[in-house]
Amino acid sequence: METVLHLISGDGDEQETTLNIARNLLDDESGSIDEVAVVAQAGGIEAVTADGEYGDRVRSLLDDGVSFKGCSNTLEAFGLEEADLVDGVETVPEGAVEVTRLQDEGYAYMRP
């Protein structure tokens, strides 16, 4: 099974819960989770910036196979560039389209 986490909130607690859940899905002992994707947009984009509070945790999740996608519309709105994101975070034109596409492919959705 596959899961997409929507990292859309600017709230630090909700961002932290999202990253915790990504880790718990990776660590799941039942082995039923094959893919974990995180789509960051709106206030959630800050959580995937290289200099942000959660930069190291995002790097660790990337290393362990979680895919991260940042929303280009959000980058533009926030005056950020792709280079401001943690290395390995891909960009997509619009996060909500990516979330739709992943669900269409069969991913379960979660918004912590």
Q: What residues line the site for a copy of itself (CB under 8 A)?
A: 1-3, 6, 8-10, 13-14, 17, 20-21, 24-25, 28-30, 32-33, 41-43, 73, 93-94, 96-97, 99-101, 103-104, 108-112
In the chain, the N- to C-terminal Cα span, in Å, equals 18
User: Would you list the DSSP string of 65-107?
Assistant: T-EEEEEHHHHHHTT--GGGBPTT-EEES-HHHHHHHHHHTT-
Q: In the complex, what is the shortest distance from the CB of residue 55 to a copy of itself, in angstroms, rounded to a whole number? A: 22
Q: In the complex, what is the shortest distance from the CB of residue 66 to a copy of itself, in angstroms, rounded to a whole number? A: 13
Q: In the complex, what is the shortest distance from the CB of residue 49 to a copy of itself, in angstroms, rounded to a whole number? A: 18
